């Protein structure tokens, strides 16, 4: 019984100490977080570790969170061929707009060729597969279809593969364009 009373007394003292120190801990620890600039600086460091660069002198933590969400959401929708600007739209606005476009059955076209790929695309448009292999012998170990699919995916995504293959892949005498297309379907 004596041990039980000592345990209860210890529990009461512990509770009392916790109740007295808890407000001090909450108020004392959060005092530095009351300053929005300090809080923004801490948030900016945290977002930097996640790959985002935010300026704590111009953004609050909530604005950083909203922008990070918008950037991630824009990347998600970009993979699905929708283009949204994270600087002008929030993540929720992007979701709503994408839902509207899908509901209206708006056709989503493949993205345009990247500006840095335009000169290469122009060069490739003027070449056949044989000329490409002659100029770039490092591709000689690749199968014709494998090379054609790689070039099509990178530089000619806006053209159907059948059209691209009919122009780019070699046709031997006696081999029709239909056989090239059937080969492209494999």
pLDDT digits (tens, 9 = 90+) for 150-159: 888 888 877 8
Q: Does residue 22 carry a pLDDT above 60?
A: no
Kind plus residue range of the DSSP H or E element containing 133: helix 129-135
Q: Does residue 13 carry a pLDDT above 80?
A: no
Higher pLDDT, 184 or 66: 66
* Spatial distance between the Cα atoms of 156 and 160, rounded to a whole number of angstroms: 8
Distance of CA 150 to the CA centre of its chain: 22
The two three-digit tokens of residue 43, written as one number: 């948030």
**pTM across the whole model:** 0.44
Q: Does residue 2 carry a pLDDT above 50?
A: yes
Domain map of the chain by residue range? 36-109, 115-184
* Spatial distance between the Cα atoms of 132 and 126, rounded to a whole number of angstroms: 10
53 three-class SS: coil
Distance of CA 35 to the CA centre of its chain: 33
Q: What is the mean pLDDT of the chain?
A: 77
pLDDT band at 91 (very low <50, low <70, confident <90, very high): very high
């Amino acid at each position: 019984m004596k041990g039980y009373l000592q345990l209860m007394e210890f529990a009461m003292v512990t509770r009392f100490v916790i109740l007295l120190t808890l407000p001090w801990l909450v108020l004392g620890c959060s005092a530095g977080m009351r300053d929005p600039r300090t809080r923004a600086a801490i948030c900016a460091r945290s977002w930097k570790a996640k790959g985002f660069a935010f300026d704590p002198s111009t953004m609050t933590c909530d604005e950083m969170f909203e922008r990070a969400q918008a950037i991630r959401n824009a990347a998600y929708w970009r993979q699905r061929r929708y283009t949204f600007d994270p600087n002008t739209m929030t993540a929720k606005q992007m979701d709503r707009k994408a839902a509207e476009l899908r509901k209206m059955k708006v056709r989503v076209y493949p993205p345009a060729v990247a500006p840095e790929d335009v000169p290469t695309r122009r060069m490739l448009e003027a070449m056949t597969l044989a000329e490409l292999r002659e100029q770039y012998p490092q591709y000689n170990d690749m199968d014709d279809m494998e090379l054609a699919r790689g070039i099509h995916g990178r530089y000619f995504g806006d053209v159907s593969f059948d059209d691209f293959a009919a122009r780019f892949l070699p046709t031997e005498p006696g081999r029709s364009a239909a056989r090239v297309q059937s080969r492209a379907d494999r």
